Structure 1
Amino acid sequence: MNGFTSLWKEIFLLSWRSQRRLTLLTLASLACSVVAVAASALALREAVDAIVRGDRGAAVAGAVVAGAVYAVNLVLQDSTGLLRSTTADRVGRLELHPRVHRDIASLEGLDHLERTDFLDRVTIVRASTSQLAASFWNAAQAVANVLKLVATLLLLGTVSPWLLILLLFALAPVLCDHRGQGTVKRVEVETAEAYRLQQHLAELAVKADSGKEIRVSGAGSEIVGRQQEAWEAAMGPRGRAQLVAGAWKLAGWLTFAVGFVGGLGLVTYRTAQGHGTAGDLVLAVTVAAGLRQTVQSTVASTTSTAGARRVIEPYLWFRSYVARDRARTTGTTPPPAALSQGITLENVSYSYPGTDVMALDSLNLRFPSGSVVAIVGEYGSGKTTLVKMLSKLYRPDTGRILVDGVELADVDTERWRARSSATFQDFGRFRTVFAETVGLGDLRNIGDREAVRSALRDADAEQLADGLPAGLDTQLGRELDGVDLSEGQWQRTALARASMRPDPLLFVLDEPTASLDAPSEQVIFERYMTRARTLARQTGAVTVIVSHRFSTVTGADLILVLDKGRLIESGDHDTLMRLGGRYAELYGIQATAYSTS
């Protein structure tokens, strides 16, 4: 519970700083609604007793006050809810939602985006930031409603102490609802993965890229069927949990109804026996009649507060994960201005979270400064995992990576990435203005059109830019009223983006030409080999090329052959061909395939 109160305090302070006027109005509305409950009943009792005494003035005054308070209370019932929802929505959307995404983006590595426990909770949190903000105001409403309930019962207690027993009956719906909501929360977390799957399958049917294949293959009915299965796997247990929660709620209200009827019978009997005034009777009947609404509001607000656990607990888990990850990020050493020795891996192993399969297994490698190193191997051999580790997207499970003798873990991540450039096989497609989607490769020069054009020349993408409707100012993305690019054009754009930084120490090309034709591939590799030699002279940069096309890496200084996460061969092209091992075998297979195609 300490985590909840700490979070609510934080949300209140956030509301106070960003939405002070709305926060004040909401608090004032809640306070007035509490006062109105007691004021209306007391004024009505005074009016009735004054009538019995024959005091017309007091009777009229009491009636006027009771009516005015009742009218104010009606207004407050609507305005308080509106103020609460407006304040929560603004804080959730404008403050918490950006904060969640900043926290996700600030995590050093990439493995959290491949963990189902992380994704299950983030799926809930990203869709629920307004509910997170509302959880504080629901708690505040719950406190106000509890105060109303206490005031109501105290008023009944002035008529007869026996009526205070109604408090116990009033607690029954609250406790039962809490029990039911606990079941709902647990099941929602358990079915989050199935829910995410059905969302993904539903999106496949409405996206243009997947829509082409679905229609050509005739897989539409199969996709719909699987989406329906995932929907049932997610919503079936959730529906049953809602039924269980409904049964608990019904039991609570039945318990309260028994106490309510008994309490009214007691008041009527005591009044008939001469214990109390007519005003007491009217007060008791009025307050008891309103007690159902008061208890219902209390139950609703406390249920909403308890129900917020389903978003608060994933959010607290997420924040705890972010804090732990940041605590592991201890690197403060700046990278060298230029590499003199290179990058060394010592006994590096890595397995993806939740699996026992070694993606990298006891690797001992050296990337000499100023060298062009090619990494080859069949699919699943660990090539991409290795280059992501060099970019500090993953941390080794065991072993260490050294940059000029300094552990990469001790090097400041932001500054290391500022001296790195990369294009990955699963490259991003940023639907912005074309110049910006290239310039994102180096934020310092994103507005420098000459730097953008230079990067386009390196990627042999000048003709692509010149052929766009508005050149560098062309908006990308049909959904944004722009133009779309072919897969090969997106890859050229990604290559240009990777060429924006002028002085990297590490330059990674992971399957950089997989979507290009053979002539374009040859031109680009020639340009990037020239660029690699230039960078080597300037900064001692290491250029790492990952490719499944062996013919494109023959000019590399060092070729590393991986198989199931292990290094099985290394050397230049001629050395490996003379060795007659796995590299020579695969090279021969590809050469034969291309010569006969």
Structure 2
Amino acid sequence: MNRYLVLWASLLKLSWKQRPGFLTLFLFCQVLDIAALAFTGLALRDAIDAAQRGVLASSIIAATTAAVCYAATSVLRGVAQTLRLQAIERIGVAELDTLIMRYIVGVEGIEHLERPQFLDRITVLRGAGWGVMDSTWGVVEAVLSTVRLAVLLLLLNTVDPWLLTLLPFAAVPLWLDKRGQGAVAKAEVATAEAMRLQKHLFTLLTTAGPGKELRITSAGGELARRQTAAWDEAVEARFRAQLASAGWKLCGWVIFMLGYAAALAFVVRQALTAGGSAGDIVLTVTVATTLRSAVQQTVSRSAEVASYKRLLDPFLWLRDYVAREKAARPVTGVPVPRRIEKGIAFDRVSYMYPGTKHPAVDEVTIDLPAGSVVAVVGEYGSGKTTLVKLLCKYYRPDEGKITVDGNDLTSLNAADWWERLSVAFQDFGRYRTTFGEAVGLGDLPNKDDSDRILAALRAADAEHLPSRLVNGLRTQLGKEFGGTDLSEGQWQKTALARASMREAPVMVVLDEPTASLDAPSEQTVFETYMRNARDLAQKTGAVTVVVSHRFSTVAGADLILVMRRGRLVEHGSHEELMALGGSYAELYSIQEKAYSLPQS
């Protein structure tokens, strides 16, 4: 509970900082509403008593006061509700959803994005900023509703103190409902993986790209069955938790209603038999009627706050996770070199993915000289991509170390290291923004520099793309946003151009950069990048690392690394490896024969 209180206090502070007028006016309206509620009951009693005594003027004044106060409560509650919703929208969505995304991208590396434990929380937190902020304002409303309830009980106490016994009865629904909501929160986290799976399958079934293959294979029906099964698994578990929660809530309300009915009957009887006035009876009935809705509002708002536990726990978990990761990986003072003088060295580097039994990279030791072009080849699953991800500092080695000019890569600030890299991965991003921005994002300070963008497009053999688009560099991408969609090859060239935006990187990584291109385009791109690599070698001593399954395109590399089952089995130049007659020579010969077969 202390953690929740600290979180709510910090979010209220944020609300005050962002929207001080909203919070001030909201509290003012709520306080006036409580006062108007009390004056309504008291004025009604005075009006009835004055009429009974025949004092017409006093009766009219009291009745008018009651009417004004009653109307004021409706207006004040409407204004307060509008202010609350506006503040939550503007702070919860604009601030907290952004904060959650910053938490996610603020963790060094990408290991967390591949762990179910992390992804389960993120699934729950998607778009949860509104709910987290609403829980904060809900606490304020719950406190004010409790004050409102206390005022009503004090009013009834003026008729008979026995009505104070309603307060313990009002606490029972809160406790029981909290117990039920705890089960709901656990069920949401437990079924997050199934919910994620059904969303993934739904996307496959309703997206044009996979849709082509599904129609040929007739696998749509099977995927639809699996999507339904995953949906049923998640919904049924959550429904059972909701049903149990509703049962606890019903028990609480039954207990309260029995106490409420007994207390109200007792008070009315006392008022009628103990010489109470007609005004006391009206006050009792009026306040008791309002009491029911006040208790319901207090309980329901408190229960709603309790239900947000399903969001608050993952939010706090994420915040703590980010804090632990930053504490474990503090920003150090070792500067990232502006130029690589010696090179990058692997010293018995091993890495194993969580949940697997065998290392993806196993005791790799190799020196990558400054200014060299390094090719990494091997069969699928041999560890090529994992190797470059370690170089990019997306993962940290489980054993061994990687050094840059003698400095341990783990000691370099990740953000500074990434600013000195240019990368193009096989699973590149498809940014649905303008075409110019989709390229310019490769170098944020220069993302709007059209000359730089055009130069990057030329480096990727894509200078012709803008002329083929409706509005050139300003063309919106993505049909779902009313724009133009690109072919797979055009998307890949866009990614390659994005990787060419930075002018002075110290390392260039091209992971299967031409997998979607035809052979002539591939050859042109590689020739261009080889020339650029030589220029960068002179400028910054940059190491260019190319991962490719087509051996013919990497034959001109200075150093070729041959990976097999995570181990570095051979390394050397093309000529050296061919003379060795080992794995590389065998794989190269197989590909050479395959590409030289006569076409029918």
TM-score range, shorter chain: over 0.9
For residue 558 of structure 1, what is the aligned residue in structure 2? 559
1:520 corresponds to which letter in structure 2? S
2:35 corresponds to which letter in structure 1? V
1:189–1:275 distance in 2 versus 1, CA, 3 Å = farther
For residue 84 of structure 1, what is the aligned residue in structure 2? 84
- 2:431 aligned with 1:399, yes or no? no
CA contact (8 A) 1:331 1:409 kept: no
1: CA distance, partners of 2:35 / 2:231: 47
- 2:199 aligned with 1:199, yes or no? yes
2: CA distance, partners of 1:19 / 1:386: 48
- For structure 1, which segment, 270-279 or 578-587, has the greater mean C-alpha deviation from structure 2 after superposition? 270-279
1:190 corresponds to which letter in structure 2? A
Deviation at 1:275, TM superposition (A): 5.5
1: CA distance, partners of 2:79 / 2:445: 49
CA contact (8 A) 1:90 1:130 kept: no
For residue 172 of structure 2, what is the aligned residue in structure 1? 172
2: CA distance, partners of 1:453 / 1:81: 52
For residue 333 of structure 1, what is the aligned residue in structure 2? 334
1: CA distance, partners of 2:230 / 2:376: 39
Q: Which stretches of structure 1, 4 residues or more, deviate above 4 A after TM superposition? A: none
CA contact (8 A) 1:370 1:537 kept: yes
CA contact (8 A) 2:268 2:284 kept: no
- What TM-score results when the alignment is normalised by the length of structure 2? 0.95
Deviation at 1:423, TM superposition (A): 0.5
- 2:459 aligned with 1:458, yes or no? yes
For residue 510 of structure 2, what is the aligned residue in structure 1? 509
- For structure 1, which segment, 64-73 or 211-220, has the greater mean C-alpha deviation from structure 2 after superposition? 211-220
2: CA distance, partners of 1:155 / 1:38: 7
1:373–1:64 distance in 2 versus 1, CA, 3 Å = same
For residue 418 of structure 1, what is the aligned residue in structure 2? 419
For residue 46 of structure 1, what is the aligned residue in structure 2? 46
Residues 56-135 of structure 1 aligned to structure 2 (within 5 Å): 56-135=56-135
1: CA distance, partners of 2:560 / 2:241: 57
For residue 582 of structure 1, what is the aligned residue in structure 2? 583
For residue 439 of structure 1, what is the aligned residue in structure 2? 440
2: CA distance, partners of 1:293 / 1:11: 28
Aligned partner of residue 159 in structure 1, secondary structure: coil
Deviation at 1:283, TM superposition (A): 2.0
CA contact (8 A) 2:141 2:301 kept: yes
- 2:377 aligned with 1:373, yes or no? no
- For structure 1, which segment, 43-52 or 82-91, has the greater mean C-alpha deviation from structure 2 after superposition? 43-52
For residue 282 of structure 2, what is the aligned residue in structure 1? 282
2:219 corresponds to which letter in structure 1? A
- For structure 1, which segment, 122-131 or 324-333, has the greater mean C-alpha deviation from structure 2 after superposition? 324-333
2: CA distance, partners of 1:129 / 1:356: 38
1:489 corresponds to which letter in structure 2? Q
Aligned partner of residue 205 in structure 1, secondary structure: helix
1:501–1:268 distance in 2 versus 1, CA, 3 Å = closer
1: CA distance, partners of 2:458 / 2:77: 66
2: CA distance, partners of 1:270 / 1:238: 48
CA contact (8 A) 2:159 2:271 kept: no
1:592–1:179 distance in 2 versus 1, CA, 3 Å = same
CA-to-aligned-CA distance 1:548-578 (integer Å, 9 cap, x gap): 1122221111111112222122122222223
- For structure 1, which segment, 320-329 or 461-470, has the greater mean C-alpha deviation from structure 2 after superposition? 461-470
Across the aligned residues of Structure 1 and Structure 2, the Cα RMSD in angstroms comes to 1.9
For residue 226 of structure 1, what is the aligned residue in structure 2? 226
- For structure 1, which segment, 212-221 or 124-133, has the greater mean C-alpha deviation from structure 2 after superposition? 212-221
CA contact (8 A) 1:570 1:576 kept: yes
For residue 252 of structure 1, what is the aligned residue in structure 2? 252
1:469–1:129 distance in 2 versus 1, CA, 3 Å = same
For residue 6 of structure 2, what is the aligned residue in structure 1? 6
1: CA distance, partners of 2:417 / 2:212: 41
- For structure 1, which segment, 440-449 or 253-262, has the greater mean C-alpha deviation from structure 2 after superposition? 440-449
For residue 386 of structure 2, what is the aligned residue in structure 1? 385
CA contact (8 A) 1:371 1:542 kept: yes
Unaligned runs of 5+ in 2: none
**How many pairs does the alignment contain?**
597
- For structure 1, which segment, 130-139 or 199-208, has the greater mean C-alpha deviation from structure 2 after superposition? 199-208
CA-to-aligned-CA distance 1:396-428 (integer Å, 9 cap, x gap): 223221100011122222222222111001111
2: CA distance, partners of 1:536 / 1:67: 84
2: CA distance, partners of 1:354 / 1:49: 78
CA contact (8 A) 2:124 2:188 kept: no
- For structure 1, which segment, 8-17 or 483-492, has the greater mean C-alpha deviation from structure 2 after superposition? 8-17
- For structure 1, which segment, 507-516 or 551-560, has the greater mean C-alpha deviation from structure 2 after superposition? 551-560
1:10 corresponds to which letter in structure 2? S
For residue 358 of structure 2, what is the aligned residue in structure 1? 357
2: CA distance, partners of 1:536 / 1:86: 55
- For structure 1, which segment, 462-471 or 65-74, has the greater mean C-alpha deviation from structure 2 after superposition? 462-471
Deviation at 1:595, TM superposition (A): 2.4
For residue 573 of structure 1, what is the aligned residue in structure 2? 574
- What TM-score results when the alignment is normalised by the length of structure 1? 0.95
CA contact (8 A) 2:512 2:547 kept: yes
For residue 239 of structure 1, what is the aligned residue in structure 2? 239
2: CA distance, partners of 1:266 / 1:239: 40
- 2:533 aligned with 1:538, yes or no? no
2: CA distance, partners of 1:504 / 1:50: 88
1:185 corresponds to which letter in structure 2? A
- For structure 1, which segment, 554-563 or 17-26, has the greater mean C-alpha deviation from structure 2 after superposition? 17-26
2:302 corresponds to which letter in structure 1? T
Deviation at 1:298, TM superposition (A): 0.8
1:472–1:269 distance in 2 versus 1, CA, 3 Å = closer
Deviation at 1:206, TM superposition (A): 2.5
Aligned partner of residue 462 in structure 1, secondary structure: coil
2:433 corresponds to which letter in structure 1? T
Residues 449-528 of structure 1 aligned to structure 2 (within 5 Å): 449-528=450-529
CA contact (8 A) 1:442 1:500 kept: yes
Aligned partner of residue 144 in structure 1, secondary structure: helix
For residue 409 of structure 2, what is the aligned residue in structure 1? 408
1: CA distance, partners of 2:547 / 2:557: 11
Residues 207-218 of structure 1 aligned to structure 2 (within 5 Å): 207-218=207-218
- 2:296 aligned with 1:293, yes or no? no
- For structure 1, which segment, 37-46 or 187-196, has the greater mean C-alpha deviation from structure 2 after superposition? 37-46
Deviation at 1:113, TM superposition (A): 1.6
1:353 corresponds to which letter in structure 2? P
CA contact (8 A) 2:434 2:473 kept: yes
CA contact (8 A) 2:184 2:242 kept: yes
1: CA distance, partners of 2:476 / 2:74: 52
2:83 corresponds to which letter in structure 1? L
Residues 143-162 of structure 1 aligned to structure 2 (within 5 Å): 143-162=143-162
CA contact (8 A) 1:334 1:416 kept: no
2:82 corresponds to which letter in structure 1? L
Deviation at 1:475, TM superposition (A): 2.8
- For structure 1, which segment, 201-210 or 511-520, has the greater mean C-alpha deviation from structure 2 after superposition? 201-210
2:441 corresponds to which letter in structure 1? L
CA contact (8 A) 1:423 1:509 kept: yes
Q: Percent identity?
A: 51
CA contact (8 A) 2:342 2:405 kept: yes
1:228–1:447 distance in 2 versus 1, CA, 3 Å = same
